[in-house]
Every structure is written in structure tokens, then in C-alpha cells.
Structure 1
Amino acid sequence: MPRILPTELFALLSKHVGQDSAGMELRWLRAAARDPHHLQSLVSRRTSGEPLQYILGTQPFGPLELLTRRPVLIPRPETEHWTLRLAELIHPSSQDPISLLDLCTGSGCIPLLLCHLWPPGSVQAVGADISSDAIQLAVENAHRCGIHVSTFHSLLRATDSNGNTFTPLLADIRSLDFAQSSALRSPFHLITSNPPYITHEDYAKLSPSVKAYEDPRALLGDPQPTPYGKGLTFYHDIAKLAAREGFLARNGVVAVEVGIGQAEDVQRIFQEEGRLRETEIWRDPWEVQRVVIGRR
């Protein structure tokens, strides 16, 4: 393969991402490349539409550097923003620890960041996802971040670590028997989720770089035809879990990310179906209503 000059690589990238981003992306790709031919291959992948995070293999998330791999959803800046805010809102300790359930955990970004930020021994986190690819990546990220990966057998006994723990769970959170799984030790003090919330109509409008690489199960908010519509299926399911007797602890908190224009509907779902009377909406740095918080 003939070698392409750096100026030519820059020109190729500029056509795809614009001149402002091309220089920065080329520096990152050059740092990740083993040699000039490998750099050309990386640039080719980028100009074909592959997300930069998959090419580089990592994505910053707060102070963490998480592994990224297709088809698992890439952690987004808006998710990072509200997770950091949530970490400042709740103050667990080793003397007063909490249990955390993250639904649709993907890369594990939300529970792993919270485990990293909160004091050792203050939280036992469970991350549930229907995708085996996601669960495998979440486990790898936990190891990478120095967070103990527990098993449900060890959770049934006294914790086998003095630090915070992350327990992966391959499961369909929408199944009727999910809440009754012996793998879950409810009540949970905190339930978090960045669930799928994109409507079928909006999914059709997404860029090819998203649709061709990221798992549609992590994006589509209405997996099957449903009377709910509007990408809100998972919020109804999360609300029903929160309303189950003994599933959410007294004074427990539910925090979920939502799509543009969905916050007020999700707030109403939480109040009416989740029996979460105290609710609020958080905005992201771009002033979009991005998170709904519900308290028991």
C-alpha cells in the first residue's frame, strides 16, 4: 500500500469531520498508530464513518478512561455530566453503604464512575444488560478501573472486598421475572439508567456512523410495537420496578437519562406508575432537559 503523506491524511479527514476537528483527530490517531501504514488504516476507518471512540478504543468518562468497542453504546458527555452531579448529591460511606442497580448498563460507565468517586466500601453496584457484549465490556472496564468484580455467590455471603464492588448481570430488565431474580439483592437505595429512548422515527434519521456501529437495542426506546410509543417503553418498565414492594428502599432514588422532549412525560410516568411523588428534572450543559430524578 503506497504511503499517504500527513497533509493528504489531513485533507481526507477534513472532508469527513471538518478542518477544525481534523487536526485534533489526526493527532489522536497518530498517537494510537503503530506505524505510518497503520495510521492510514485508522484514517480510512474514520473516513468510512466509524466512530472515533471505537477506533481509539477508549473514551474519557469523568476521571476514568473507559474501553470502547462496537457494538456497545459509546458513553456520552451528557451522561458523564449528570453522573458526576449525582455523585455529589448522594453521600454513602463505609458506615452507611448503599446498593446501586444500573439498568441497561452498557459499558458500565455510570456505576463504575460512582464506584470510583465514592469512598471504599460505600457501594455495592449491579449492572444489568441484555447484551453479552455489553456485560463483557463492563467487566473489562471494572478491572481496568481497579473496581472489584463480584459474583452473586459472593454477594450472598459477606462482601469479599473492602472496596466498592461491581456485579455484572446478563438479563432482560423487561422480562416479567427480572425483579424476582435471585441474583438481585433488593431493596436498592439507588437505581440509575441511561435506557434506550430514541423513537423509530428519529432512529431512521440518525447518522450512518451510529446506525452501522452501535447496537440498536441500546438506542430504540420502543423495541416492539407498543401502546406507549414515543420512545418511553423502558421508563414505564423502570417505574414499575420502582413501585414494586421492597424493590426500591425507603428514601430510595431513581435517576434516568431521557431524550429531548421526554422529561415531562417521564416525570409523569414516575409519579403515576412509579409512586415517586418527589421528582425533579435536571438540564444538561446545553440546557436540554436531560435527567429525571425520582425519590420514594
Structure 2
Amino acid sequence: MNLLLAEVAQATQRLADAGVPSPRNDAEELAAFVHGVKRGELHSVKNSDFDARYWEVIARREQREPLQHITGRAFFRYLELQVGPGVFVPRPETESVVGWAIDAVRAMDVVEPRIVDLCTGSGAIALALAQEVPRSRVHAVELSEDALRWTRKNMEGSRVDLRQGDALDAFRDLDGQVDLVISNPPYIPLTEWEYVAPEARDYDPELALFSGEDGLDLIRGIERTAHRLLRPGGVVVIEHADTQGGQVPWIFTEERGWADAADHPDLNNRPRFATARRATP
């Protein structure tokens, strides 16, 4: 019997008992990471090559340290990103937000669409857009110096214009010139702190998680920033919690210069992000 596969089975049970949401996946990912193989190649690891460090990383995951912090990498669409303490780990649900944005930009009659990513964090959104919309001009901003250490690593050699600053005051030089503004901002209500998964609450930076009593403080600010940056007809795409479905589109009202505000579901059919178009005067 393959020793590593037997150990993976034991590790899966340990992680399940610790409340890890995806115990089998994480046990296999960590086994592949420690042994330097792909998940589909675990059966090929010889018994004599079993590395006892596997149980060290399993113990860390049992304590709910994020899988991505242990491996130092996160996968997002077609990207492999470097992540660790100080930066928000990109989530799979954000991939559908980016997918909608890519379709929206491609549908625009613009040769070189200009895109702004507010609160870029690891740079996942900006880099995905730059990669999948090759002629786009992508700009990104991040406030946290701790997060920027990772952002700069990920964006090294890319064509993304990365700046440090406050999303609410960013890119004054681009006012009225942007085709799409996108953001995955902090949106968790402060009152929900105790209900947040330990991987996020204890390891993701608070600056990337919480935003006022109802979680919408920064989204309200981004609404004005997006209106300032977008050209007439330009589009804003903003992620929010599934429990905030129906609330965010009401921030982008006709009275404030918006049209076609709507919510959109994620792959689990839960409201996940809102979009709106800057109205034409």
C-alpha cells in the first residue's frame, strides 16, 4: 500500500475533526506541496520518500492557518500568486466577478480599454484582467504597505500601473477616462466578527475584511470614486457579501448619476456582486 496515500487519509480525518471546510482537498494539496509533486501524482511517491514534515504542515492547518499561507501560493483563474501574512487571500467566488468584468470590457467598442482595480490586495483581479484582456490598460491601488509587499512580487514584470494610496482618492489623473472600475473591497459588518471563519478572521488583515456597522462604508465611498473615474457609459463592478444582495445596487441610484444597477449571482446562485453604468448626461 502507498504510505503517502494512507497518511493523506489520516490527515483528512484530522482536518475534518478540526472543522476545516475542505479536509480532503487540503490534505492532498499539502501532501503534494511537501513532496514536490502534483496532486494527481501522489500515488507515485515511494514509501521511502515519505517526508515527515507532512505532519508539521497538517498540524498548522489543524490550527486553521490558511492553506495558502502554508504553501505560499494561491491560484486565481489562470494565475499562481504569492501570498502570506499581511495580504488578503483571493477567493474562488471572486473569479466570477472578474469573469463578468472581462465579458463587459470585451463587449465595449474600445480599442484599449482602461480599467481601474480599487483595493487590489494581492493583485489578483488586476493581473487577471491584464492577462485576459491583452490590449487593456490596467491600473491598481492598494493602501496597506504589508499587502503591497506581496502585490509588488506578483506584479513584477507585469504591465499593471500599481500605486499605493487610498481607494477613495486614487487616480485623480484618470478622472472621466476609465471604462471599467472593479473592486473586491472589505464588506464584512463589524458586528459579524465572531462569525467569520478563523482562516479569515485570524489571518487576513482586518483592513481587507471589515467596513463599518453594516459592512457597506467603503462601498459607499467607492461609489463616488467610481463615478468620478468613469466616462459616461463606463461600468463599475463591485463584490459584496451574499447577505448584502439587494442592498448594494441601491447605493448606485439614478439620482447619483447611475443606470442599470443590478445584482448578480455567484456559481452557487447567491448574490455576490453588483454592477452599474455611469449614466450619460
TM-score for the superposition, normalised by structure 2: 0.82
Aligned Cα RMSD in Å?
Answer: 2.6
The answer for the alignment partner of 2:41 in structure 1 is: none
Alpha-carbon deviations, 1:15-47, whole Å to 9, x = none? Answer: 2247x9434322211221167242222111111
Q: In structure 1, how many angstroms separate the alpha carbons of the residues matched to 2:85 and 2:109? A: 36
**Closer/same/farther in 2, CA of residues 44 and 239 from structure 1, 3 Å limit:** same
The 8 Å contact of residues 130 and 136 in structure 2, kept in 1 or not, is answered as yes
- For 2:226, give the aligned amino acid: A
- 1:42 alignment partner, one of 49, 57, 62: 57
**Alpha-carbon distance, 1:291 to partner:** 1.1
- For 1:262, give the aligned amino acid: Q
Q: In structure 2, how many angstroms separate the alpha carbons of the residues matched to 1:23 and 1:242? A: 41
Alpha-carbon deviations, 1:253-292, whole Å to 9, x = none? Answer: 1000011232322211111564112222111111111111
Q: Does 1:198 align with 2:217?
A: no
Q: In structure 2, how many angstroms separate the alpha carbons of the residues matched to 1:26 and 1:243? A: 45
Per the alignment, in what secondary structure is the counterpart of residue 269 of structure 2? Answer: coil
Q: In structure 2, how many angstroms separate the alpha carbons of the residues matched to 1:256 and 1:169? A: 20
Alpha-carbon deviations, 1:230-254, whole Å to 9, x = none? Answer: 111112111112333xx21121110
Q: In structure 2, how many angstroms separate the alpha carbons of the residues matched to 1:22 and 1:90? A: 37
Q: In structure 1, how many angstroms separate the alpha carbons of the residues matched to 2:236 and 2:209? A: 20
1:101-112 equivalences under 5 Å are 101-112=116-127
Give the percent of matched residue pairs that are identical in Structure 1 and Structure 2: 28
**Closer/same/farther in 2, CA of residues 87 and 49 from structure 1, 3 Å limit:** same
- Unaligned 5+ segments in structure 1 are 149-164, 223-228
The answer for the alignment partner of 1:141 in structure 2 is: 154
- Unaligned 5+ segments in structure 2 are 1-5, 36-49
Q: In structure 2, how many angstroms separate the alpha carbons of the residues matched to 1:94 and 1:274? A: 25
**Alpha-carbon distance, 1:56 to partner:** 1.7
Alpha-carbon deviations, 1:82-117, whole Å to 9, x = none? Answer: 211221222179971011111111111111111111
TM-score for the superposition, normalised by structure 1: 0.78
1:155-234 equivalences under 5 Å are 165-174=159-168, 178-179=169-170, 181=172, 184=174, 187-222=177-212, 229-234=213-218
- For 2:28, give the aligned amino acid: R
Q: In structure 1, how many angstroms separate the alpha carbons of the residues matched to 2:92 and 2:12? A: 26
- 2:243 alignment partner, one of 257, 261, 267: 261
The 8 Å contact of residues 100 and 125 in structure 1, kept in 2 or not, is answered as yes
The 8 Å contact of residues 135 and 169 in structure 1, kept in 2 or not, is answered as no
**Closer/same/farther in 2, CA of residues 180 and 53 from structure 1, 3 Å limit:** closer
The answer for the alignment partner of 1:248 in structure 2 is: 230
The 8 Å contact of residues 97 and 237 in structure 2, kept in 1 or not, is answered as no
Q: In structure 2, how many angstroms separate the alpha carbons of the residues matched to 1:256 and 1:29? A: 32
The answer for the alignment partner of 1:130 in structure 2 is: 143
**Closer/same/farther in 2, CA of residues 238 and 294 from structure 1, 3 Å limit:** same
- For 1:129, give the aligned amino acid: E
